[in-house]
Amino acid sequence: MASHDALRIRGLSKTFARPAVAGLDLTIGAGEFYGLLGPNGAGKTTTLRMVVGLLKPDAGSIEIFGVDALADPIAAKRMIAWVPDEPLLYDKLTPIEYLSFIAGLWGMDATLAERRAQELLEQLDLWAHRNERCEGFSRGMKQKAALAGGLLHEPKLLILDEPLTGLDAAIAREVKDILYDHARRGCTVILTTHLLDVAERLVDRIGIIQSGQLLAQGTLNELRLKSGRRDSTLEDVFLHLVAKSEPRAA
């Protein structure tokens, strides 16, 4: 069986009042931990929402592990999990009910789903709270429950939009460990974040997007070379590349 890239985007465009994504080309290999960075309004979230099927692109193509996500969205969605910054939860359901619901949506075997739900809730320190309604949870607990929902069906491509927003240091560390662990086990992870130090330590490759176009991508060292700043932090590299491209973007 031919091996496919986890995500292959060609000429992707979306315009609202102004172009949000403008002819974006992006390829992310299977098993990569990829960080999509960019200033506010750069088009990161719009791009990811098109990938997961929440927005219809004006033009372009999206392939997920060789499946045309626009022609066969159901097949593509089977392989994806989407975890945005606002947890996709139901306040009146308990975490175990929430996970059961997700298992039903993804058509998982009930016994497998039950075992996996227990593993994830234990791993995320939510097992003791499994029969409590989510309405009483802190933001961190909600985010962890949502992450458990994303990981339950063992997606091949996990997409996270600002997953660490509003989390305290301990919970953020737990989430990062879990993401890293999944990436090491072969799951492709794409995340957007404004926490550049997190991206610097966590991801394999970084893509910097501005005005809906890919400005630069590569490992941190490749980006350093491209920006001509050999010993800089990702923050320096990012700010330099974004500032350099601003006249062009304008």
CA distance to 9, 13, 33, 70, per residue, from 59 (Å): 11, 5, 26, 11
Q: Is 114 in the site for other proteins (CB under 8 A)?
A: yes
Q: Is 122 in the site for other proteins (CB under 8 A)?
A: no
Q: Is 100 in the site for other proteins (CB under 8 A)?
A: yes
Nearer to other proteins, 22 or 147 (CB): 147
DSSP 129: G
Task: Rule CB under 8 A: choose which of 12, 24, 113, 189 binds other proteins.
Answer: 113
- Site for other proteins, residues 183 to 242, rule: CB under 8 A: none
- Cα separation, 211 vs 159, in Å, equals 21
Q: Is 17 in the site for other proteins (CB under 8 A)?
A: no
Answer whether 80's CB lies under 8 Å from 248's CB.
no
Both tokens assigned to 131: 């029969």
Smallest separation, CB 43 to other proteins (Å): 18
Which of 8, 121, 105, 103 lies closest to 62 in space, CA to CA?
Answer: 8
Smallest separation, CB 81 to other proteins (Å): 8
Which of 102, 151, 146 lies closest to 137 in space, CA to CA?
Answer: 146
Terminal Cα-to-Cα distance of the chain (whole angstroms): 45
Answer whether 229's CB lies under 8 Å from 220's CB.
no
Q: Is 90 in the site for other proteins (CB under 8 A)?
A: yes
Nearer to other proteins, 149 or 237 (CB): 149
Count of residues engaged in binding other proteins, rule: CB under 8 A: 40
Task: Rule CB under 8 A: choose which of 103, 151, 152, 164 binds other proteins.
Answer: 103
Spell out the residues 6+ positions from residue 85 whose beta carbon is closer than 8 angstroms to its own. 161, 162, 163, 165, 166
Nearer to other proteins, 139 or 205 (CB): 139
Q: Is 117 in the site for other proteins (CB under 8 A)?
A: yes
- Cα separation, 94 vs 104, in Å, equals 15
* Angle in degrees, 0-180, between the axes of helices 234-249 and 220-227, rounded to the nearest 10: 50
Nearer to other proteins, 68 or 132 (CB): 132
Task: Rule CB under 8 A: choose which of 30, 93, 195, 249 binds other proteins.
Answer: 93
Nearer to other proteins, 192 or 217 (CB): 192
Q: Is 54 in the site for other proteins (CB under 8 A)?
A: yes
Answer whether 61's CB lies under 8 Å from 137's CB.
no
What is the binding site for other proteins (CB under 8 A)? 52-54, 74-75, 77-78, 80-82, 84, 88-94, 96-97, 99-107, 110, 113-114, 117, 130-133, 135-136, 149
